[in-house]
């Protein structure tokens, strides 16, 4: 079922570490599959730069930190049918935004604050598998929906020892899963890289931290205030 | 073979070393699932070595028995398209050849089978569940050391249980009393006769005493109404203000659903490989605490409010389940209490609402 006309894809990066693009390269054999289905016409990391006017799919990694990046994002949006925000920096601002959270106005902006984003692939870094799935689903015309599963519930599926119970500040209960709880399964607390779960109850987690004498970071407090104001969510 | 409602047959005795010998023999010809140690957790998993099996453990495993009968992620079938014809490779064929023995589960999990059967083998038979269920032998282990959150006595599912198992073991001094619950159980005894001796009247008395002692342990820790007697009170308190308070605590993380022995909701996902024209249909566990759970094709979500989701879980266990399958579907295992990061306790909720 290889399409007659392969969709033209551009992969771009704004302020980021390019780790998510490396995750695309980490697909290995599956990347070769994607190359049979898609025509990558622009990607700095792959060393591809063809002449093109319109793009079917633009994949943008990184958050918007400067006026130049804002212009670049708008330009890409204008010539693209579908825009995918790749990785936590593009989806929510990630580390840049964490440092910036108490500043007004924010210097760092998630992509969706600047342009219309059609799909988001969260994670720091993204899961290669999820990236592959999203591209295939777009190709097949499937409606892409995010599941509300949390990291915490995926962690209990793996029957791990609970880090929270050990007094470790794990954000698993409020973080969107579908990562197979990779961090807590390796004894590292969840740091929320996939963004807030649907209807995340930060107040309740802060209480759970207090009950266990777990220190509450400024970032979590700021995030909670922001959520209550109904503003942007990480 | 009848799957539920088998009556108690005979009883035998087996020594601990003979029990290990029996498990060894069973594991040679079957997939033997048993309680094993995983970090600080007790998990029900494939026993690679008989010596790893925990016989005297406290409480119950982290995930319940349903993880074997309805795996958290299960490929139902694979298919491929060739010259416009579709070939299906149904996983049912693989399941049909499996022989499963589950050893060491408690009354709360044995009771859950009765409820799972009512869900999956009622009007519509789930073929995957049915096949696995038919191929599964249950060897229970009477609980003598309930955990701090155990309350099976108040859901009338334990610590004593008289059906739902093929064999039930109870530790009596240096021996294990073996109650036979089915023909499948009896056939295990018959083919391993030399490992068993007949039960003595004293051993039956000791078992009765042990059960009584365990009930006292559970009662000491809990002051609760019987969960099958609070239906009317709960119905009346549906709009109670308490729900707002409970839902302000709830993280909607969904752990309680995943560890519940009777939560059966699942989602179906399709994965397709357009290059090889092959696909898979996969069943994964789902949770009524997730917003996506009630999302329909148009994108509408029916239980947006957190309190409506937590109510769904509690009311399903105690009210809707009675309407639907004629029994409450809480077996009092206490797993949801144990894993809840914010300490939401179904016992407290029911006690307060039933007041």
Tens of pLDDT, residue by residue over B51-85, are: 999 998 888 999 999 999 999 999 999 999 998 89
Residues of chain A found within 8 Å of residue B279, distances taken between Cβ atoms:
none
d(CA A202, CA B341): 12
Average pLDDT over residues A86-108: 85
Strands B196-198 and A39-43: unpaired
Q: Which of B72, B250, B251 sits opposite A157 (nearest CB)?
A: B72
Q: Tell me: pLDDT of B97 over 80.
A: yes
A54, A28 contact by CB (below 8 A): no
User: What pLDDT, on a 0 to 100 scale, did the predictor assign at position A147?
Assistant: 82
Q: Tell me: pLDDT of A144 over 90.
A: no
Worst-scoring range by mean pLDDT, A47-61, A148-162, B2-16? B2-16
Task: Give which of A120, A142, A149 is closest to B251, Cα–Cα.
Answer: A149
User: What pLDDT, on a 0 to 100 scale, did the predictor assign at position B15?
Assistant: 95
d(CA A188, CA A169): 10
Q: Tell me: pLDDT of B3 over 80.
A: no
Q: Which of A37, A153, A211 sits opposite B274 (nearest CB)?
A: A37
Angle (nearest 5°) at CA B185 between B180 and B189: 90
d(CA B58, CA B155): 19
Worst-scoring range by mean pLDDT, A20-24, A218-222, B31-35, B315-319? A218-222
Strands (E), A28-79: 39-43, 48-49, 55-61
CB atoms within 10 A of CB A219: 16
Task: Give which of A63, A69, A37, A194 is closest to A127, Cα–Cα.
Answer: A194
Average pLDDT over residues B242-262: 95
Q: Who has greater pLDDT, B273 or A101?
A: B273
Strand order from edge to edge, sheet including A80-86: A48-49, A39-43, A8-13, A55-61, A80-86, A119-121
User: What pLDDT, on a 0 to 100 scale, did the predictor assign at position B7?
Assistant: 44
Q: Report the Cα B229 to chain-centroid distance in Å.
A: 22
ipTM for the predicted complex: 0.91
Q: Which of B40, B251, B258 sits opposite A201 (nearest CB)?
A: B251
CB atoms within 10 A of CB B228: 15
Contact: A152, B271; criterion CB under 8 Å: no
- Which residue has tokens 């302000």? B248
Q: What percent of chain B has pLDDT over 90?
A: 90
Instruction: Report chain B's C-alpha Rg in angstroms.
Output: 22
B137, B1 contact by CB (below 8 A): no
Residues of chain A found within 8 Å of residue B253, distances taken between Cβ atoms:
150, 152-153, 172-174, 197
d(CA A211, CA A147): 29
d(CA A230, CA B10): 65
User: What pLDDT, on a 0 to 100 scale, did the predictor assign at position B5?
Assistant: 43
Q: What percent of chain B has pLDDT over 70?
A: 97
For CA atoms B232, B235, B240, B244, the dihedral sign is positive
b (16+ CB within 10 A) / e for A77-108: beebeebbbbbbbbbbbbbbbbebbeeeebeb
b (16+ CB within 10 A) / e for B66-82: bbbbbeeebeeebbeee
d(CA A224, CA A217): 11
Contact: A156, B259; criterion CB under 8 Å: yes
Q: What is the pTM of this model?
A: 0.92
Best mutation target, B83, B313, B341, to test chain A (most A CBs within 10 A): B341
Q: What is the DSSP letter of A12?
A: E
Q: What are phi and psi of B303, to 5 degrees?
A: -115, 75
User: What pLDDT, on a 0 to 100 scale, did the predictor assign at position A36?
Assistant: 93
Average pLDDT over residues B283-298: 93
Residues of chain A found within 8 Å of residue B249, distances taken between Cβ atoms:
201, 204, 207
Contact: A204, B249; criterion CB under 8 Å: yes
Strand order from edge to edge, sheet including B85-90: B85-90, B73-82, B278-285, B266-273
Q: Which two tokens stand for residue B282?
A: 């996969």
d(CA B314, CA B153): 18
In the structure, what pLDDT confidence band is assigned to residue B330 with cuts at 50, 70 and 90? Answer: very high
Best mutation target, A201, A209, A210, A233, to test chain B (most B CBs within 10 A): A201
Residues of chain B found within 8 Å of residue A162, distances taken between Cβ atoms:
339, 341
Q: What percent of chain A has pLDDT over 70?
A: 97
Contact: A157, B285; criterion CB under 8 Å: yes
What is the number of CB-based contacts under 8 A between chain A and chain B? Answer: 112
Q: Tell me: pLDDT of B136 over 50.
A: yes
Q: Which two tokens stand for residue B122?
A: 């009622």
Average pLDDT over residues A21-49: 93
Domains of chain A, by residue range, sit at 8-139, 151-228
DSSP per residue over B128-178, as a string?
Answer: HHHHHHHTEEEEEE--SS--TT--GGGGT--SS--SS-SEEEEEETTEEEE
Mean pLDDT of chain B: 93
In the structure, what pLDDT confidence band is assigned to residue A100 with cuts at 50, 70 and 90? Answer: confident
Contact: B39, A160; criterion CB under 8 Å: yes
Task: Give which of A215, A224, A168 is closest to B341, Cα–Cα.
Answer: A168
Name the residue in chain A with its Cα closest to that of B40: A161
Q: Who has greater pLDDT, A106 or A39?
A: A39
Q: Tell me: pLDDT of A231 over 60.
A: no
Average pLDDT over residues B79-92: 93
User: What pLDDT, on a 0 to 100 scale, did the predictor assign at position B6?
Assistant: 42
Q: Tell me: pLDDT of A173 over 80.
A: yes
d(CA B171, CA B14): 10
d(CA B222, CA B337): 13
Query: For chain B, percent helix, then strand, then coil, each to nearest 5?
Result: 40, 25, 35
User: What pLDDT, on a 0 to 100 scale, did the predictor assign at position A99?
Assistant: 78
Residues of chain B found within 8 Å of residue A208, distances taken between Cβ atoms:
251, 341-342
Measure in Å the smallest separation between the Cα of A181 and chain B Cα atoms.
13
User: What pLDDT, on a 0 to 100 scale, did the predictor assign at position B9?
Assistant: 60
- Helix axis angle, B107-120 relative to B127-134, nearest 10°? 140
Task: Match domain A8-139 to its CATH number in 2.60.40.10, 3.40.50.700, 1.10.10.10, 3.40.50.2020.
Answer: 3.40.50.700
Average pLDDT over residues B334-349: 96
Average pLDDT over residues A73-79: 97
Residues of chain A found within 8 Å of residue B252, distances taken between Cβ atoms:
148, 150, 197-201
d(CA B217, CA B221): 7
In the structure, what pLDDT confidence band is assigned to residue B1 with cuts at 50, 70 and 90? Answer: very low
**What does chain A come to in residues?**
234
Contact: A164, B341; criterion CB under 8 Å: yes
Largest CA distance in chain A: 60
């Amino acid at each position: 079922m290889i399409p007659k006309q392969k969709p033209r894809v551009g992969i771009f990066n704004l302020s980021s570490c390019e780790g998510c693009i490396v995750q695309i390269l980490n697909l290995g054999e599956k990347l070769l599959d994607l190359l049979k289905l898609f025509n990558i016409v622009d990607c700095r990391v792959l060393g591809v730069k063809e002449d093109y006017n319109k793009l079917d799919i633009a994949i943008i990694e990184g958050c918007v930190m400067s006026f130049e990046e804002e212009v670049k994002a708008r330009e890409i949006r204008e010539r693209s049918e579908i825009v995918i925000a790749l990785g936590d920096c593009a989806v929510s601002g990630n580390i840049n935004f964490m440092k910036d959270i108490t500043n007004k106005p924010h210097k760092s902006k998630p992509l969706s604050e600047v342009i219309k984003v059609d799909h988001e692939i969260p994670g720091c870094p993204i899961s290669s598998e999820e990236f592959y799935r999203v591209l295939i689903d777009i190709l097949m015309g499937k409606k892409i929906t995010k599941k509300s599963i949390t990291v915490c519930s995926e962690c209990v599926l793996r029957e791990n020892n609970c880090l929270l119970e050990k007094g470790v500040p794990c954000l698993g209960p409020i973080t969107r899963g579908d990562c197979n709880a990779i961090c807590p399964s390796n004894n590292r607390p969840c740091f929320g890289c996939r963004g807030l779960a649907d209807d995340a109850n930060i107040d309740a987690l802060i209480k759970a931290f207090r009950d266990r004498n777990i220190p509450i970071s400024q970032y979590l407090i700021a995030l909670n205030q922001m959520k209550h104001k109904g503003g942007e969510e990480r | 073979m009848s799957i539920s409602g088998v009556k108690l047959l005979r009883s035998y005795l087996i020594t601990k070393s003979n029990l290990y010998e029996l498990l060894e023999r069973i594991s040679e010809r079957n997939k033997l699932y048993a309680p094993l140690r995983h970090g600080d957790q007790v998990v029900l998993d494939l026993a690679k070595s008989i010596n790893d099996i925990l016989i005297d453990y406290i409480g119950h495993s982290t995930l319940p028995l349903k993880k074997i009968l309805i795996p958290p992620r299960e490929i139902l079938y694979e298919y491929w398209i060739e010259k416009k014809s579709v070939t299906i490779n149904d996983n049912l064929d693989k399941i049909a050849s499996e022989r499963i023995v589950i050893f060491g589960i408690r009354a709360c999990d044995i009771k859950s089978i009765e409820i799972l059967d009512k869900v999956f083998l009622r009007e519509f038979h789930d073929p995957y569940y049915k096949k696995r269920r038919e191929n599964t032998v249950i060897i229970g282990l009477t609980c003598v050391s309930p955990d701090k959150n155990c309350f099976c006595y108040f859901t009338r599912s334990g610590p004593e249980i008289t059906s739902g198992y093929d064999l039930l073991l109870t530790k009596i001094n240096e021996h294990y009393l073996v109650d036979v619950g089915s023909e499948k159980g009896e056939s295990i005894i018959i083919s391993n006769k030399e490992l068993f001796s007949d039960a003595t009247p004293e051993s039956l008395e000791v078992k009765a005493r042990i059960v009584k002692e365990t009930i006292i342990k559970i009662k000491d820790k809990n002051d609760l109404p019987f969960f099958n007697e609070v239906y009317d009170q709960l119905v009346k308190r549906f709009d109670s203000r308490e729900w707002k308070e409970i839902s302000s605590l709830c993280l909607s993380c969904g752990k309680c659903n995943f560890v519940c022995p009777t939560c059966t909701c699942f989602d179906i996902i399709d994965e397709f490989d357009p290059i090889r024209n092959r696909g898979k249909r996969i069943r994964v566990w789902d949770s009524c605490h997730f917003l996506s759970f009630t999302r329909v094709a148009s994108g509408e979500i029916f239980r947006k409010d957190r309190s409506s989701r937590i109510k769904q879980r509690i009311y399903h266990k105690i009210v809707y389940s009675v309407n639907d399958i004629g029994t409450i579907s809480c077996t009092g295992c206490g797993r949801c209490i144990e894993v809840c990061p914010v300490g939401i306790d179904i016992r407290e909720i029911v006690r307060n609402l039933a007041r």
